[in-house]
Amino acid sequence: MINERYYPLLATLAVCALLYGYGMFEYRAFSDTYVLGNLLTDNAFLIITAIGMTFVILSGGIDLSVGSMIAFVGVLMAELVTGFGIHPLVAVVVSLVFGGLFGAFMGFIIARFDIQPFIITLAGMFFLRGMCFLINLDSVPISHDFVSAFAGFRIPLPGRGWLSASAMVMLVAVLVGLVIAHYTRFGRNVYAIGGDRQSAQLLGIPVERTIIQVYTLSGVYSALAGVVFAFYTASAYPLAAVGVELDAIAAVVIGGTLLTGGMGFVAGTFFGGIIMGVIQTLIAFDGTLNSWWTKIVIGGLLFGFIVLQRLITRSFSGMRAGAS
């Protein structure tokens, strides 16, 4: 018997396999590793963002500031590298530290004053987007040998494919997220708080500290996504990544994480992001469909996974009532 908490993850894997299998059946070139390499590269920044969002949603919260953080980090790096002549690696460290501190600040307000995360992170979204325009109003290229080397670094795959530096950073970020979520005390605390915050407090779990750490982690991951996006495009733009916070939430939900918290898997989020990329690739291969069909299909998948989550939570409630 399979535990019911794995049903959403299994559904995610099944949808991913079906979509990819359909692509391989319908388009011969779809089976080439070139498509896989592009999938991992093009969706690297989104998956990284979604991994950080997974921890937030697992804890029962939400973070609407991640898209603005990606844009702000890009603008900040462009200013540091192009304007002040700082090495990109130093700019990366500064960006990650800022992301962590800003996330910790939002987490502190949420935890200490018991304010809805939606409101605080919405304020963070507006603040960071405004800071982008305060620094620069236009698109700015990031010209540096290191950025060019990062963008051009590739590891060949069998066939015509390759694994880019962006994809490798993303895979490492996913692996780190897996370890944190499933093999650390912090990860267990996140699941406990998302499942039942009052029970977690009674068990002695440091709820406030854990929530602050969750938003700190989300800030670091979204800042890392901003770094990858800036290196990937070799530019920065204040309006970059508009709506990415919603795409990240969609990837987390399609990946099987319960919106109310306490149930989900980092691996599911990875495949949720891949599913969104596969849908976009299928529409590009078709060539006759408008790109907005991507949103329509993703919306349909969200409906399905939300209903599945509701059925599972009702099943758990029934089991608990029967046990009591």
Token pair, residue 298, equals 């993703």
Distance CA 10, CA 18 (A): 12
What is the rounded distance in angstroms from the CA atom of residue 79 to the CA atom of residue 84?
7
HSE (side-chain half, CA atoms, 13 Å) at 300: 8
Residue 249: its pLDDT value, please? 96
pLDDT tens for each residue of 293-311? 888 888 888 888 888 777 7
Each residue's pLDDT tens digit, 51-64: 999 999 999 999 99
**pLDDT surpassing 60 at residue 142:** yes
First vs last C-alpha separation in the chain: 22
Percent pLDDT > 70 in the chain is 95
What are the domain boundaries of the chain?
A: 4-316
- Ramachandran region of residue 234, left (φ > 0), alpha (ψ -120 to 50) or beta? left
At 80, is the secondary structure helix, strand, or coil?
helix
Q: For residue 305, what pLDDT is reported? A: 80
Question: What integer is the mean pLDDT of 246-275?
Answer: 93
Residue 183: how many other CB atoms lie within 10 Å: 10
At 24, list the tokens: 């391989």
Rounded to whole angstroms, the Cα distance separating 86 from 82 reads 8
Determine the pLDDT at residue 183. 95
Average pLDDT for 307-317: 67
Name the least confident of 12-21, 133-142, 186-195, 308-317: 308-317
- Provide the token pair at 250: 């969609």
Measured CA to CA, the distance from residue 58 to residue 55 in angstroms comes to: 5
User: How far, in Å, CA of 190 to CA of 214, rounded?
Assistant: 8
**pTM of the full structure:** 0.94
CA distances to 51, 78, 211, 241, 278 from 231, in Å: 19, 10, 30, 14, 23
Fold of 4-316: ABC transporter involved in vitamin B12 uptake, BtuC (1.10.3470)
* Strand, coil or helix: 119: helix
